Amino acid sequence: MLNDCFILATGLGLDLINGIYMIVDFGAGKTSITTLQGLNIIQNDMPPVNGRGLDEVIKFYLRRQHHLDISLKEAEKLKQNQIDLSENAVDRRICISGFIKNTDIPKDVTLLSSELKRSIINEIDILSNRIIRHIENLEPFIQDKLKTGNIFLTGGSFKLKGLIDIIAAKIPVSHKSYQV
């Protein structure tokens, strides 16, 4: 059985036999940070942050701060459509519909999009710090090879607006990322 990182590397058109690559797969249900040298996995980390976890953080935040219950599907829509992690993101008012906590009584809450952004920023910091720590735990030769553009970000959760920019500001990310 092939590891997902090999499938992703093949999809990116990477030379698996002769190259050294790091693939960060930030999916809905799992995240993996894998460094490949040839056909060998030399390091693999599974940070606790994933797309579904971000949805749960948003849902929990709204429940705790605004006494508003929403579904995970609604939290995912908010994440995809209302959160922009970009440095120059425009803050806008958004209305969220749900139910008063522990009831079936409808409730609407209006808040700024920056509030939702703040609700997940700790998780984003955990992810970016784990990627950096993964690199730091590799041999210097491999670190140098990765820093020449051999770090690839892929997976549906990287569609979160501005997330790629946050990570690319800290490490040299390949322009071929996010194509698979």
Q: In what order do the strands lie in the sheet with 20-26?
A: 40-45, 31-37, 20-26, 151-154
The 10 Å CB-count burial string (b at 16+, else e) for 11-43 is ebebebeeebbbbbbbbeebbbbbbbbeeeeeb
pLDDT in tens, 159-179: 899 999 999 999 999 987 765
Is the distance from CB of 12 to CB of 176 less than 8 angstroms? yes
pLDDT in tens, 96-143: 999 999 999 999 999 999 999 999 999 999 999 999 999 999 999 999
pLDDT in tens, 4-25: 888 888 888 889 899 999 999 9
The residue to which tokens 């797969």 are assigned: 25
